[in-house]
Amino acid sequence: MKIAEIIKRIPEIKVRKGDAFLDINYIWADTRKLSPNDIFVLPEGQAENYPKFIESAKNLGVHSILVSSSQLKIPGIEGFTNILEAEGYVGDVHGKIASLLSGNPSKKLKLVGITGTNGKTSLTFILFHIASTLGKKCGLIGTVHIRILDKILETGYTTPDSSSLNLILKDMVDAGVEYVFIEMSSHGLKLGRTSGLELQGAAFTNLTQDHLDFHSTMEDYLDSKFKLFQILESSSLTNKFGIVASDVPGGDLMITKLIAAELKSPIYLMGNSGEFNYSHTKLSLTGSEFRLHRKEKDVPFIEVRKVKTNLLGNFNIFNVSLAAFISFELGLPWENILHSIESIPTVPGRFQVIPSSDNSRIAVIDYAHTPDALENILKSCKEILPKQLICLFGCGGDRDRTKRPMMARIAEEYSDFVILTSDNPRTEDPKSILGEVESGFSRGFRRYETVVDRRSAIEQGISMLEKDGILVVAGKGHETYQIIGKTKTDFNDYEEVKKAFQNWEKDR
């Protein structure tokens, strides 16, 4: 496609220098993927490497570069034959160009974006299960992996960069996929990775403290999440919709922003005052029972249905309920949806239960790495009424430090015993991280132990676990590595817990 045609479709671009009739193949911020007829974009947040990236692009024979007005004076930019200037944020323009040059694949799909601090992964997995069970061809993009029908691909980010994302969506179209469920992280939304997508649906789960190392303020974090609904608003698809969980942390803030924005897209609420809700929850170690409330459109009454699912915990009741309502708004048959949620495959690293061989005690693996997520998992375990609840967790290095003492206070409140251990310390000293976590315990609290080595900590937790007790192993979930310094080594909580149970059973 010629530059002139791109500008005609995306008027936020203007030619500062060069030939508007040059043919363009694609757009990349990754120099390893560039070809001469591509547009190069400087990757966000890597200013110290810009001279090296610019030189690499030129050596590859790349003629065109997209920059913001503030980047025009970066040394080396003037050496490109074509300089395109983006009005506004260059990441958003990058996303729109990637979508255009890949053939607008999202427009050919029913794409549902999910955002929120917690619950994104579980929700997308449940949605994939519901739609697949009902015979739909589905794709999934998120933290654990990318899935195209039955094909699994690994991913390095919750939300891939916009160039990669649109090519993934194109592959899904080519594979015959109809429905795609995608996690939209605050990073991805803020950096423009999802800009230019045509959404069928959007959903917000909650907003609690996380990623303040990236966002700096909760207001910026909220603004980034809100961008999902701005993308929905710009979508040209018919029957598009949004669903916001209202009775959750951050729900009122999101609703306030939506009201102020006066969006024309239909936005429904899940909560006490919303079109959708759930109630009468009943928890056990074998499953969960609850009721779903759905207001009939144009009819002054509410349908209430008693349902059950094999998934455990109040937060999973929330996830299953929201997934059911999203599926309904996508036009899937309500009765079939209710039947499909009775048996849902366990989401990797999300309330993943590992019992001892005699089922006398269990461990629960969960990705909970924020204060809110840790509280949710511990409360859900507490509601099952175990005779003992042990919480094992740590906090990541080179990440938001303010949440460390907060998580300690939560673990103290809900647990009978706490084991502090390493969780991707990265370049920080693991003992220093755990010292900051310990500072959150109340004065005189002694029901905890610090075991820096995570494998040893898991072994200790299993050895301490009493009959009818629960060990929560929080923080890593589906991850299959531990990052110490800048080295990533193999480590899998699920496998380590299984080994610890086997060793304990041999020795007792």
The residue type found at 449 is: E
The total of other beta-carbon atoms located within 10 Å of residue 36's CB is: 11
Q: Between the CA of residue 154 and those of 30, 143, 301, 497, what are the distances in Å?
A: 18, 9, 45, 24
Q: Between the CA of residue 416 and those of 370, 391, 446, what are the distances in Å?
A: 20, 8, 11
Give, to the nearest 10 degrees, the angle between helix 90-101 and helix 162-174: 20
Binding residues for meso-2,6-diaminopimelate: 399, 423-426, 475, 479
Residue whose C-alpha is closest to residue 131's, from 342, 301, 411, 324: 324
Residue whose C-alpha is closest to residue 119's, from 215, 258, 253, 245: 245
**Coil, helix or strand at residue 256:** helix
Cβ burial, residue 439 (10 Å; 0-12/13-18/19+)? exposed
Q: Residue 377 and residue 175: Cα distance in Å, rounded? A: 37
**Coil, helix or strand at residue 239:** coil
- Contact (Cβ atoms closer than 8 angstroms) between residue 418 and residue 447: yes
**Residue labelled with tokens 């947040």:** 45
Which residues make Cβ contacts (< 8 Å) with residue 205, sequence separation at least 6?
Answer: 114, 115, 116, 117, 118, 119, 120, 123, 245, 248, 318, 319, 322
Binding residues for ATP: 116-122
Q: Residue 403 and residue 223: Cα distance in Å, rounded? A: 20
Q: Between the CA of residue 35 and those of 6, 50, 61, what are the distances in Å?
A: 18, 18, 7
Q: What is the DSSP letter of 79?
A: G
Its sign, for the CA torsion 212, 218, 219, 221, is positive
Binding residues: 31, 116-122, 158-159, 185, 193, 399, 423-426, 475, 479
**For strand 146-148 and strand 151-153, is the pairing parallel, antiparallel, or unpaired?**
antiparallel
- Contact (Cβ atoms closer than 8 angstroms) between residue 68 and residue 46: no
Q: Residue 233 and residue 74: Cα distance in Å, rounded? A: 35
**Coil, helix or strand at residue 7:** helix
